[in-house]
Structure 1
Amino acid sequence: MASSIFPSAVLFLLTFSYIHVQSHEEGYIAAEISNKGLEFLKDLLIEKAESSLVPLELPRIEKSIKIPVIGSVQIVLSKITVERIHVTSSTMKTGDNGIVIDVSGATANLTMNWKYSYRTWLLPISVSDKGNATIQVEGMEVGLTLSLKTTEGSLKLSLLECGCYVNDISIKLNGGASWLYQGLLDAFEGKIGSAVEDAVPKKIKDAIVKLDALLQSLPKEVPVTNIAALNVTFVNDPELTESSLDLEIDGLFSAKHQSALSSHYNRLLQDSSSCKEADKMVKISLHEDVLKSASSVYFEARKMQWIVDKVPDQSLLNTAGWRFIIPKLYKMYPNHDMNLNLSVSSLPVIKVGKQQIKAKVPLDVVIDVLDVEEVIPVACISTVISTSLSAEISGNALTGSVKLNDLTVSLKWSKIGDLHMHLIQTVLSTTLRTLVLPYINLKLSRGFHIPDFHGYELQDAQILCTDSWIVICSNVASVNQLSLI
């Protein structure tokens, strides 16, 4: 398999993409949603509820009213439908009792059909009339308490309490001699109000059941490639405080269809005040063990191996380019093209420190000479590449840069005699610093676009590296909103 750049470039591009992906949905993630973020979620929930709760059809109402002289009047209200609900004020609080949402000052618009009929000794026939009406509900209050728990790795949402209170109703009749019967229908305000107070909580309960079913149906394993998958199960119950909602996902990388052994890793989350100082909606913390588990999966699958036949300076892949450094190689194979067969010999050491990610990669470099159609391995050089990666979020893209900290080489075996390892180390170090790393950093500077999630994107995001943790602090906004900025 051919590669266009030196394998260390591929390795760090791969590591960089891991950081990008994990930030959103994969690996061990601790998400802290602040009051600002909860307010955003509450407004989004209210907006969805305003449209999903309507149209809401209420039960038919029948009532018989006795009127002096006339007698008994039968009144029927049918097709009573809530057409629109508008919320003007709402609050959300979190705490030991769960998530409490209070709506006050809401209004609702209803429509209905009305009909009445009666018989009287004054007339020999039955008297009836019918029409329609519009109803305006003012000062509607709704309160609900939600419980969010973890059950078998999934989030379970349940409705603990829900109530609705209607403060004021006005009915306007249309059709027939409606002006004459307005007073009769005003007597139904209480029944209509009670119907609304009963129907709204039932509709909310049905919506919560559907939302819980959706949460339960979310996959517990997310395939990343044809080799690796993420265990995205939730661990521990969400922590509700007066200032935040905290969630944890215990989902390290594992070979596809195999469970990750989370207990192998230390996942002690340390508090960071960075996001609080930045006043962001959400803080997402990613532990370095996610990167370690990813590298472990690919290493065990023997996917950390590359054949390099192209480099920025192509003369380095011909024996003529090495004739003064390895004379015997050129003497045995004059002007022959070469490949570099590279493989990570043991698990890379990855460490997240202050504002940087350090990696130490042990790499075996086998020099292959291409002789007609034959590939001849002539020497193996063991190298250890120590680098550091810094990352940042610019706009809606993840960018960064890689720096070479150290490079050590040693001869593992040779069919072309002893090699001048000091000279080889100098050439490799110079090549990495002047050709490979500038190429990688050019790619990283262009950034990786952070995709939106169901129409929402990160806004004003910051990425921070602390002791063992990668932390992203961000606001959230709709894609449409961002396009207007």
Structure 2
Amino acid sequence: MLCGEVYLKGHKTGYPLPVPRIPPDSDTSRMVFIWITEYLPNSAGYVLQNIGSLQYNVTPDNVPAGEKNRLNTSYAAFDFLTPQVNKMYPNMEMQINIKSTKAPVVKIASTGVQADLVGDFITYAILPNKTLAYLSTLSMSISAKVSMNFTGNNITWNIASCSATLKGVRSAEVPFLTSSLQVELGNTFYLNQLGAVGIPIHQLINLPDGFVFTNPVIYLGEGFLKIGTDLTYTP
């Protein structure tokens, strides 16, 4: 009877997959239950992909100071993928344009939440006159598995694994990686630090004045996430 869906304001087209059924449930351990199926995040990804919002340009100005050395043509990872770049553009800053090429897919199971993303990484060298010299285009598929829980009234998470497959698409007339390369993205410490603190549930779900969530719990099932909580009212 109820369907949570995200769509562009004024242009409701509908996510082109069937709405999943919420399974029968006799749980009465909490006063309120909130169900979220895969349909909600996947409809959001579908809309954001169609309007071109899933893209971001990584520049020396918007990376942490301690990471700026990685955005350089002399950095080992770029030298491995495109060995001639550092000879053509030695020790130059870089810009990476990240663009999703397919709508992201979220899958929910009892063991956790999996997110799959596919996109292109387009690299440029930043020349002394601040213009961009095209270097290469890499296609990347990223798959992350996340566990979720509650700590107090905060929704918390932990990235259990994150892997990526890289493959060269084209380059600016330089030798290039053309075979697929599987890598484990182990540097999720910062994201897991944020996840350990979490997000207060009241920031995600608004309640009428005077009501607060009490003793919330989270359940994961096949294709759905269920939040159970009691409510406390203070006039």
The one-letter amino acid paired with 1:440 is L
Give the Cα separation in 1 of the matches to 2:160 and 2:97: 23
The structure 2 residue matched to 1:386, chosen from 134, 143, 146, is 143
Q: 2:211 aligned with 1:456, yes or no? A: yes
Per the alignment, in what secondary structure is the counterpart of residue 7 of structure 2?
A: strand
Q: Summarize deviations over 1:167-202 as a string: whole Å, max 9, x none.
A: xxxxxxxxxxxxxxxxxxxxxxxxxxxxxxxxxxxx
The one-letter amino acid paired with 1:441 is N
The structure 2 residue matched to 1:298, chosen from 40, 48, 64, is 48
Q: Is the 8 A contact 1:253 1:260 kept in 2?
A: no
The structure 2 residue matched to 1:413, chosen from 165, 170, 186, is 170
User: 1:355, CA displacement in angstroms?
Assistant: 3.5
Alignment of 1:328-367 (within 5 A): 328-367=84-123
Alignment of 1:154-233 (within 5 A): none
Q: Is the 8 A contact 1:329 1:416 kept in 2?
A: no
Over the aligned positions, Cα root-mean-square deviation in angstroms equals 2.3
TM-score, normalised via structure 2 length:
0.86
Alignment of 1:269-308 (within 5 A): 269-273=22-26, 275-276=27-28, 279-308=29-58
The structure 2 residue matched to 1:315, chosen from 64, 69, 74, is 69
Q: Is the 8 A contact 1:285 1:472 kept in 2?
A: yes
Higher Cα radius of gyration = 1
In the superposition, relative to structure 1, how do residues 263 and 415 fare at CA in structure 2: closer, same or farther (>3 Å)? closer
User: 1:324, CA displacement in angstroms?
Assistant: 4.5
Q: Summarize deviations over 1:39-59 as a string: whole Å, max 9, x none.
A: xxxxxxxxxxxxxxxxxxxxx
Q: Is the 8 A contact 1:352 1:467 kept in 2?
A: yes
The structure 2 residue matched to 1:445, chosen from 196, 208, 214, is 196
User: 1:327, CA displacement in angstroms?
Assistant: 2.8
Give the Cα separation in 2 of the matches to 1:333 and 1:421: 21
Give the Cα separation in 1 of the matches to 2:111 and 2:210: 30
Give the Cα separation in 1 of the matches to 2:112 and 2:178: 30
Q: 2:8 aligned with 1:252, yes or no? A: no
Per the alignment, in what secondary structure is the counterpart of residue 306 of structure 1?
A: strand
The one-letter amino acid paired with 1:407 is A
Per the alignment, in what secondary structure is the counterpart of residue 253 of structure 1?
A: coil
User: 1:359, CA displacement in angstroms?
Assistant: 1.3
User: 1:472, CA displacement in angstroms?
Assistant: 0.6
Give the Cα separation in 2 of the matches to 1:407 and 1:301: 25
Give the Cα separation in 2 of the matches to 1:425 and 1:439: 24
User: 1:263, CA displacement in angstroms?
Assistant: 7.3
* Higher fraction of helix: 1
Between the aligned residues of both structures, percent identity stands at: 20
The structure 1 residue matched to 2:152, chosen from 382, 395, 399, is 395
The one-letter amino acid paired with 1:465 is L
Give the Cα separation in 2 of the matches to 1:465 and 1:472: 9
Partner of 1:213: none
User: 1:262, CA displacement in angstroms?
Assistant: 6.3
Q: Summarize deviations over 1:354-374 as a string: whole Å, max 9, x none.
A: 141111110210111111220
Q: Is the 8 A contact 1:252 1:260 kept in 2?
A: no
Q: Is the 8 A contact 1:368 1:376 kept in 2?
A: yes
User: 1:473, CA displacement in angstroms?
Assistant: 1.0
Give the Cα separation in 1 of the matches to 2:37 and 2:4: 11
Give the Cα separation in 1 of the matches to 2:226 and 2:192: 22
User: 1:347, CA displacement in angstroms?
Assistant: 1.3
The one-letter amino acid paired with 2:73 is T
User: 1:463, CA displacement in angstroms?
Assistant: 0.9
Higher RCO by CA contacts (8 Å cutoff, separation 6 or greater): 2
Unmatched 5+ residue regions in structure 2? none
Unmatched 5+ residue regions in structure 1? 1-234, 236-248
Partner of 2:220: 465
Q: Would you say how many aligned residue pairs link Structure 1 and Structure 2?
A: 224
Q: Is the 8 A contact 2:46 2:103 kept in 1?
A: yes
In the superposition, relative to structure 1, how do residues 266 and 299 fare at CA in structure 2: closer, same or farther (>3 Å)? same
Q: Is the 8 A contact 1:317 1:339 kept in 2?
A: yes
Give the Cα separation in 2 of the matches to 1:284 and 1:352: 15
Per the alignment, in what secondary structure is the counterpart of residue 186 of structure 2?
A: helix
Partner of 1:223: none
Q: 2:230 aligned with 1:475, yes or no? A: yes
The one-letter amino acid paired with 1:461 is P
The one-letter amino acid paired with 1:394 is T
Q: 2:131 aligned with 1:377, yes or no? A: no
Give the Cα separation in 2 of the matches to 1:442 and 1:308: 22
Q: Is the 8 A contact 1:460 1:475 kept in 2?
A: yes
In the superposition, relative to structure 1, how do residues 291 and 259 fare at CA in structure 2: closer, same or farther (>3 Å)? same
